[in-house]
Amino acid sequence: MAVSSITIRNDIAEIRQLAQWAGQFCDANGLRALENRLTLVLEELLTNVIAYGYDDDTAHRIDVRLTWDDGMLTAVFTDDGRPFDPHDVQHSAMMGSLEDRPVGGLGIHLILTTMDRVDYARIDGHNRTTMTLAVKPPRA
């Protein structure tokens, strides 16, 4: 089992650090083929937390943990922003013409459709979003 954690601030400039860290995790664990997919999902969730999670301009910490174990990739985001369950987002982001679609929701739609499973819990005043992806071994 491989586990790595990072703590970042609720600052959009932290996306670069998050992407580099995720890339290093993928490289170290033979998951290079998943790097773009994982990075996109992590960046989308971080962007949503930063944009919609806080009512103040103070620094908040966001903890991210990646685990690779027996073909299962798990990413856990923990933040102290306002409660936000990704499953509560209207899934109208992909319906209708571009002109008729509401603003927002596309990133959450992407997360929910890219990962095999997305779970949410509110624990001790913190959001915990757990995203998992089963990875099949490459064919010989």
Asked if the structure places residue 120 within a domain, the reply is: yes
What whole-number distance in Å separates Cα of residue 112 and Cα of residue 131?
A: 9
For residue 40, what are the domain limits?
2-134
pLDDT at 79: 98
* Residue 137's pLDDT band (cuts 50, 70, 90): low
Split into its structural domains, the chain has a count of 1
pLDDT at 56: 93
Q: CB of 60 within 8 A of CB of 10?
A: yes
Q: For residue range 67-125, what is the model confidence (pLDDT) as tens digits?
A: 999 999 999 999 999 999 998 876 544 455 545 544 445 788 889 999 999 999 999 99
Which residue, 40, 42, 38, 56, is CA-closest to 8? 42
Asked if the structure places residue 101 within a domain, the reply is: yes
Residue 84 CB partners (closer than 8 Å, separation 6+): 48, 49, 52, 53, 120, 127
pTM of the predicted model, to two decimals?
Answer: 0.86
Enter the DSSP assignment of 35: H
Residue 30 maps to which CATH number? 3.30.565.10
Strand-pairing partners, residue 120, are 129
Which residue type sits at 136?
A: K
Q: CB of 80 within 8 A of CB of 10?
A: no
Tokens 């083929």 -> residue? 33
pLDDT at 91: 54
* Residue 136's pLDDT band (cuts 50, 70, 90): confident
Asked if the structure places residue 43 within a domain, the reply is: yes
Main-chain dihedrals φ then ψ at residue 53, nearest 5 degrees: -85, -20
Helices (H), the chain: 14-28, 35-52, 106-114
pLDDT at 90: 62
Asked if the structure places residue 140 within a domain, the reply is: no
Asked if the structure places residue 139 within a domain, the reply is: no
pLDDT at 94: 47
10 has a pLDDT exceeding 80? yes
Asked if the structure places residue 27 within a domain, the reply is: yes
Asked if the structure places residue 117 within a domain, the reply is: yes
